[in-house]
């Protein structure tokens, strides 16, 4: 059982993360890691089998809408409120976000 292990490399992981842990913190994190791994062991051991009959969205047909061709916006009306849309090929200039 993972909760019974005492050899978790907490100090090594802390050193790799450049963390300074006191002996009390190391013991605390070792215990917490043991609890997490024990819970993961319980989840992996659980039987999730097939869902019961009658459960699932695939049995309810999704309504379909008719496919209709509609006119779209012209490029000029689509770019009417753009901050700096001029010239061809109709590009929009925006302020630089990342430096």
For residue 66, is pLDDT > 60? yes
Pinpoint the alpha helices (H) of the chain.
10-16, 23-45, 75-78
Considering the domain boundaries, does residue 7 fall inside one? yes
Output the pTM of the full model: 0.42
DSSP-derived letter for residue 3 is G
Give 35 or 94, the one with higher predicted confidence.
Answer: 35
Q: How many domains does the chain fold into?
A: 1
Q: Is residue 6 part of a domain?
A: yes
- pLDDT of 2 above 70: no
What local confidence, expressed as pLDDT, does residue 74 receive? 87
Q: Name the least confident of 73-77, 83-87, 91-95.
A: 83-87
Is residue 87 assigned to a domain?
A: no
Q: Which residues constitute the domain of residue 27?
A: 2-45
Residue located via tokens 């302020």? 95
CATH of the domain at 25: 1.10.20
pLDDT of the residue at 6: 59
Tell me the pLDDT tens digit for each residue of 11-60: 888 899 999 999 999 989 989 988 998 999 999 888 877 766 666 656 66
Q: In Å, what is the CA distance from 18 to each residue of 9, 15, 21?
A: 14, 5, 10
């Amino acid at each position: 059982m993972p909760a019974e292990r005492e050899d978790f490399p907490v100090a090594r992981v802390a050193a790799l993360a450049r963390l300074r842990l006191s002996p009390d913190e190391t013991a605390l994190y070792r215990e917490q890691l043991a609890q997490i791994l024990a819970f993961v062991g319980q989840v992996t051991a659980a039987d999730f089998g097939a869902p019961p009959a009658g459960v699932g969205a695939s049995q309810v047909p999704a309504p379909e809408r008719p496919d209709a061709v509609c006119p779209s916006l012209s490029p000029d009306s689509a770019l009417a409120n753009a901050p700096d849309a001029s010239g061809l090929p109709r590009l929009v200039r925006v302020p630089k976000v990342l430096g």
